Amino acid sequence: MYTEQGGEGPDLLLMLHGMGATGAVWSPMCTGANARWNGRWLVLDLPGHGQSDRQDSYAIGQYAASVARATLPHIHAAGRLVVLGHSLGGLIGLALATGWFGVTPHQVFAAGIKIAWRDEELRRMETLALQPAKRFSNEEEAWDRYLKVSGLAGIADAASPVVARGIAHDAEGWRLAMDPCANGVGKPPMAELMALARCPVHLGRGGNDAMVTLAQTRALDPGARDLGPHGHNVMVEAPDQVWDWVAPSA
C-alpha cells in the first residue's frame, strides 16, 4: 500500500481519504502538521486507489483489514492512534473503532460521511463497479474527469499537489487510477458501527457539503462538528478548520 509519513513521537495520526481520491488530498493538512500535531502522521492511498494495489473485495471490512495491516508496523506501543477519515475514509475509521481488525484507535474523527442513500444511488454504484475503467484519449480529459469524480473540481486543478496519483497511463491510454470495482462498497452501516465503537468517535461535515446534512450527522453524533462554510473536501478547502477540530481533542 502506498504510504507517506512524517513527524516524530509515539503518537500516530492516520489520515484516510474518500472514495475516488488519493492520500494526496491530505497534503494541506500535512503541511501544517508540525505546528498542529505533536506526533507522527501517516497517509495511505486506500486499496484500489492511487498507487496502492487493487484487492478482490471492497467491502468495508476488507478495507479496514487492509488499512489495519498497513498501519500496524507504524504504531508504537507507548503511543496513541488517532484516525482522521474523510467520507469513505471516515467509514473505515468507524470500522477500525470496533477493534475487530487488530488496531483500536484512541479516537476517530470522521468528516463528510454520506449517511442517507437512495436505492437508485446504490444501484448506480453497483453498475459502476461492474464496468471497465473508462479510457481517455489524452491526459487533460483524464484530469478533468478525476477532478469531478473526486469532488475537487473548482477547488483544485491538475497541477495541485492534492490531486497527485489520481490518474494513470498504460498501453491503452489514460484512465483514473481508481479501480472501478471499488464503487461496490455498498451502503454504510453507520448506526451499527457507531454502536460498536470502542473509542470516542467524532463526526463532522463542511457546512456546504451536499453529500450529508448536519441534521443527519447529529442524529448519530449529537456533538457533530459544523466545520464552517466549506464543501465536501473541507480538509482541502480549510485545513486549519479541521486541525482546530482534531488537535485539541486528540
Q: What tens digit of pLDDT does each residue of 152-211 get? A: 999 999 999 999 999 999 888 999 999 999 999 988 899 999 999 999 999 999 999 999
- pLDDT tens digits for 26-45? 999 999 999 999 999 999 99
Banded pLDDT at 225 (limits 50, 70, 90): very high
pLDDT above 70 as % of the chain: 100
SS3 string of 107-156? EEEEECCCCCCCHHHHHHHHHHHHCCCCCECCHHHHHHHHHHHCCCECCE
Give me 80's grid cell: 496513541
What pLDDT score does 38 carry? 94
What pLDDT score does 54 carry? 96
Structural domain that includes position 195: 3-116+184-249
Is 18 contained in some domain? yes
The one-letter code for the residue type at 36 is R
What pLDDT score does 99 carry? 96
Indicate the number of domains in the chain.
1
What pLDDT score does 20 carry? 94
- Which helix (H) or strand (E) element contains residue 42? strand 40-44
Is 221 contained in some domain? yes
Is 151 contained in some domain? no
- pLDDT tens digits for 77-107? 999 999 999 999 999 999 999 999 999 999 9
Is 122 contained in some domain? no
Grid coordinates 500535512 are at which residue? 30
Q: 81 - beta bridge partners?
A: 12
> Does residue 249 surpass a pLDDT of 90?
no
User: Dihedral, CA atoms, 240, 244, 249, 250, nearest 10 degrees?
Assistant: 10
Domain with residue 7: its CATH number is: 3.40.50.1820
Is 139 contained in some domain? no
What pLDDT score does 76 carry? 95
What pLDDT score does 171 carry? 86
> Does residue 250 surpass a pLDDT of 90?
no
- Listed in sequence order, the DSSP H helices in the chain are 27-31, 33-36, 60-71, 88-97, 119-130, 139-149, 190-196, 214-220, 234-237, 239-249
Is 179 contained in some domain? no
- For the chain, the straight-line distance linking the first and the last C-alpha, in angstroms and rounded, comes to 26
> Does residue 119 surpass a pLDDT of 90?
yes
Give me 202's grid cell: 467524532
Is 197 contained in some domain? yes
What pLDDT score does 248 carry? 84
Is 143 contained in some domain? no
Question: What secondary structure does DSSP assign to 8-25, as a single string?
Answer: -SS-EEEEE--TT--GGG
Would you put residue 158 in left (φ > 0), alpha (ψ -120 to 50) or beta?
alpha
Dist. CA 165–CA 181, nearest whole Å: 18
Banded pLDDT at 214 (limits 50, 70, 90): very high
Under a CB-based contact definition with an 8 Å cutoff, are residues 42 and 15 in contact?
yes
